[in-house]
Amino acid sequence: MDRLDNAIRPYAWGSTTAIPHLLGVESTGEPQAEMWMGAHPGAPSRTSRGTLVEVIDANPEAELGKAVVAKFGPRLPFLLKILAAGAPLSLQVHPNLEQAKEGYADEERRGIPVDAPHRNYKDANHKPELICALTEFDGLCGFRDPVQAADLLAGLGVDSLKPYVDLLHAHPEDAALREVLTAILSADPEEMARTVAEATAACTRLGGDYAPYADLAQHYPGDPGVIAAMLLNHVRLQPGEALFLGAGIPHAYLNGLGVEIMANSDNVLRCGLTPKHVDVPELLRVVRFEASDPGVLRPEASPAGEEVYDTPIDEFRLSRYVLPEGTAAHDLTLDTPQILLCTAGAVRTGEHELSPGQSVFVPAGEKTEISGTGTLFRATVIV
């Protein structure tokens, strides 16, 4: 197995302290938003044998296993991250696999550079993802019931929001949600900025359920995404709880530290809370306009001590081991590749002693045991 040296991404929304605190190092004062563990070409993990991309490319079947290569091709299907949100991320959705393939092929045909700011599809893959809280973690996930969203907007007492309130009472619900989101994102920017300013003042005054949106507006004054965010469920995860985000589900992470795993893709369509490109027609093609419960996940324990976060896709499988003092060694050997990440205590695997924030890559079929006292997350794939 290989100890991983992982890149930290300094996105502006990142916390300046959460990842350094986890790693037990001094903060630089700069944002540290994400630590990537995997073989994404944008920031592959490094090993003593080269980058993880180079290691896998040299012998895919030995590193990933024949079954994984046959099902997903000669690449690691998932990307594991530690995510530290010190400010809200953009309101966004991800395409399904068919939409990603179509969108990527279309932008390739039109000759749009992959690093162009108006490019939507960086690759031809989908990006289902799971976020598991390490600290209390706030986010927005999926549409509220339209009547509940209407009540929330109406409670602000802002006259320019009344047309949206009326639309949300219309039927069917998918058409109501589509019309309101379209109207918000297509509104005159100056008029919308005034509406957001009035709504922000009301949110600040009212507090309670409105407090998260007042905070959003502080970070993104005048942004239509502040109003769009009120259409979504607000959820607060406790440590160990998780959210699964499938294709077309609008969402945003607001603050907190978590372990995130996703299919190995970078395709994002933004709805707001961002200075970046918002492609409204393409966004509307991808969003699933249906009210849903956020569906907070709690791990399902097995007799072997593994706690699994059950999701409906095969590109990744996330689980954790919480090892009390004196626990016997656990055999983690699998026919699929694994990344093991320690988030608390000290966990030994093979010759490696892992402290919080440290990780290893385990090739398919390699004998693997863990012992020690702490918490270890295990990322692998289903074949």
> Catalytic residue numbers?
270
Q: What is the C-alpha separation between 343 and 107, in angstroms, rounded? A: 39
Report H helices in 59-96.
Answer: 60-64, 66-72
d(CA 63, CA 42): 20
Distance between CA atoms of residues 177 and 379, nearest Å: 36
Helix (H, G, I), strand (E, B) or coil at 322: strand
> What is d(CA 249, CA 266) in angstroms, rounded to the nearest whole number?
16
Query: What is the residue whose two structure tokens read 């507006």?
Result: 217
3-state secondary structure of 293: coil
Instruction: Say if strands 242-245 and 78-85 run parallel, antiparallel, or are unpaired.
Output: unpaired
Contact predicate 31/11, CB 8 Å: yes
Count of beta carbons in the 10 Å neighbourhood of residue 265: 25
Element (H, E) at 347: strand 338-349
Helix (H) / strand (E) element for 132: namely strand 129-133
- Rounded to whole angstroms, what are the CA distances from 163 to 169, 179, 202, 208, 253? 10, 11, 18, 24, 28
Per the CB < 8 A criterion, the answer to whether 222 and 191 are in contact is no
The whole-angstrom separation of Cα 229 and Cα 271 is 9
Query: Can you give 216-274 as a three-state secondary structure string?
Result: HHHHCCCCCHHHHHCCEEEEEECCCCEEEECCCCCEEEEEEEEEEEEECCCCCEEEECC
Specify whether the CB–CB gap between 314 and 264 falls below 8 A.
Answer: no
* Count of beta carbons in the 10 Å neighbourhood of residue 244: 21
